[in-house]
């Protein structure tokens, strides 16, 4: 079996808050949920002394009259309360019960975890139909756009710095391992790239462009095959695209709130121009621009989700419109199939339209889960761990898949075992790789995952699956 060398790598949800909150973590790791842009937190209203009824029993308290919404509803759907007139000299909220702490949207956490698993399956088995079944890239960008819009209720500069702080250190840790190995295996970048290499190498520090790497490195049949560098550095395109969206979000959000539908559909139009060959933008800038166009509508759809625009559209109209857009995507793909078949990653306009419609349906029907319901509750620890270590899993999974392949290959070298079970190893080769990859991902989480905590200014944790909070 040859490990599939995919030219496109799917990505994880970016590192926003503790395992993808719809808010931020505070100084000591506590969860803080930010309201949508333009809607500040409501102050706890004062309770006038003359309106407080006398308790009818010893120890009885007045009813809570705080301005915080019902925790079963999201902030953007809560009606603004009417605060009574404050009483001079009395602290606001005195005598009122403390407001409930807002929770995470576990539905979004599940989507991120599913997307990561789908990425691993796709890069192992190479099944093109997985890009249709669950367009993980579009989903991740839509969720990231929603969170970015929510965070931009704060000053844009501080939000961008926060995003960069969470994104870059895990990439630096990855680069500190991978790039020296490239040099150790006789990479001669100045000879191959020229003096421009000294600029391009900076993309491993600040990925606004495509980082350089050797097209061939390693050895045939060795632990590092000839294409290992291409496969290892391939996922970095996602970090570039995410960085572009973060930097552009303040302007995109202003444009969206002025002309929502034009802004939402503009990236589709741009994809139709530069993603179909009608106009060609050369070089790595062109590659980045195509990615920006393809997933731009999904990112902006996240703005619409955060601002409640999707709730204002009748559900039947939203779903039927999304189905039409998805149908166009499949129709376009059917006439532009590549040698990889229905791999939408290789058909930009089909990817853009299918992902937009798919994400719209997911967000229109999005429930608000404070806890995983029913049988999903049994997966709570793994969902939490995947969200806490999404960037680590994404950055390292290709390297770990190559290592898993080599480990399974070694089974044939085990005395007696290889001769006796060689046929079974061959028949179940990819399944064995799938089994081996998960312990390797666990080791990567233990070795490198703590960098995500340091980047987020949290206490480093080896295995953040939420067990400590459940015990508390």
What is the pLDDT, as a whole number, of residue 186?
87
What is the pLDDT, as a whole number, of residue 299?
98
CA 21 to each of CA 47, 92, 107, 310, 384: distance values in angstroms, whole numbers, following the listed order: 32, 29, 11, 20, 11
What is the pLDDT, as a whole number, of residue 368?
86
What is the pLDDT, as a whole number, of residue 11?
55
What is the pLDDT, as a whole number, of residue 468?
79
Lookup: tokens for 333: 């793909």
Other C-beta atoms closer than 10 Å to the C-beta of 186 total: 9
Other C-beta atoms closer than 10 Å to the C-beta of 318 total: 20
Low-confidence ranges of the chain (pLDDT < 50): 1-7, 13-101
What is the pLDDT, as a whole number, of residue 102?
53
* 380-388 helix and 106-125 helix, angle to the nearest 10 degrees: 80
Closest CA to 263 of 250, 274, 252: 252
What is the pLDDT, as a whole number, of residue 26?
39
- Report angle CA 36, 71, 50 to the nearest 5 degrees: 95
Distance CA 43, CA 398 (A): 48
**Residues in a beta bridge with 341:** 338
CA 147 to each of CA 151, 309, 452: distance values in angstroms, whole numbers, following the listed order: 6, 15, 18
């Amino acid at each position: 079996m040859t490990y599939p060398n995919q030219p496109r790598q799917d990505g994880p949800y970016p590192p926003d808050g503790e395992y993808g909150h719809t808010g931020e973590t505070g100084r000591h790791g506590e969860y803080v949920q930010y309201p949508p842009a333009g809607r500040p937190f409501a102050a706890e209203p004062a309770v006038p002394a003359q309106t407080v009824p006398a308790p009818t029993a010893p120890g009885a308290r007045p009813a809570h009259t705080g301005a915080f919404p019902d925790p079963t509803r999201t902030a953007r759907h809560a009606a603004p309360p009417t605060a009574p007139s404050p009483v001079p000299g009395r602290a606001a909220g005195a005598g009122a019960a403390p407001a409930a702490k807002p929770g995470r949207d576990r539905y979004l956490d599940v989507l991120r975890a599913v997307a990561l698993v789908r990425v691993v399956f796709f890069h192992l088995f190479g099944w093109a139909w997985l890009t249709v079944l669950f367009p993980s890239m579009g989903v991740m960008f839509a969720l990231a756009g929603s969170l970015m819009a929510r965070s931009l209720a704060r000053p844009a500069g501080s939000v961008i710095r926060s995003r960069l702080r969470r994104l870059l250190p895990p990439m630096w840790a990855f680069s500190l391992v991978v790039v020296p190995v490239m040099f150790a295996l006789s990479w001669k970048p100045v000879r191959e790239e020229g003096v421009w290499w000294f600029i391009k190498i900076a993309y491993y520090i600040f990925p606004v462009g495509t980082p350089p790497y050797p097209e061939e490195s390693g050895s045939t049949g060795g632990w590092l095959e000839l294409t290992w560098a291409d496969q290892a550095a391939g996922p970095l395109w996602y970090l570039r695209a995410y960085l572009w969206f973060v930097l552009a979000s303040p302007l995109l959000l202003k444009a969206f709130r002025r002309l929502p539908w034009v802004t939402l559909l503009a990236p589709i139009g741009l994809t139709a121009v530069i993603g179909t060959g009608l106009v060609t933008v050369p070089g790595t800038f062109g590659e980045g621009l195509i990615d920006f166009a393809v997933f731009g509508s999904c990112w902006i759809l996240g703005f619409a989700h955060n601002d409640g625009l999707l709730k204002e559209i009748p559900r039947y109209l939203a779903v039927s419109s999304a189905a039409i857009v998805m149908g166009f995507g499949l129709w376009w793909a059917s006439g532009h199939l590549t040698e990889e078949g229905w791999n939408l990653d290789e058909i930009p306009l089909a990817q853009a339209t299918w992902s937009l419609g798919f994400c719209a349906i997911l967000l229109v029907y999005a429930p608000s889960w404070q806890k995983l319901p029913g049988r999903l509750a049994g997966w709570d620890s793994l969902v939490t761990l995947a969200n806490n270590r999404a960037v680590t899993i994404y950055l390292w999974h290709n390297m770990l898949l190559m290592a898993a392949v080599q480990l399974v290959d070694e089974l044939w070298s085990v005395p007696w075992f290889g001769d006796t079970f060689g046929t079974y190893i061959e028949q179940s080769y990819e399944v064995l790789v799938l089994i081996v990859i998960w312990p390797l991902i666990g080791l990567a989480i233990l070795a490198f995952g703590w960098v995500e905590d340091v980047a987020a200014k949290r206490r480093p944790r080896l295995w953040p699956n939420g067990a400590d909070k459940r015990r508390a």
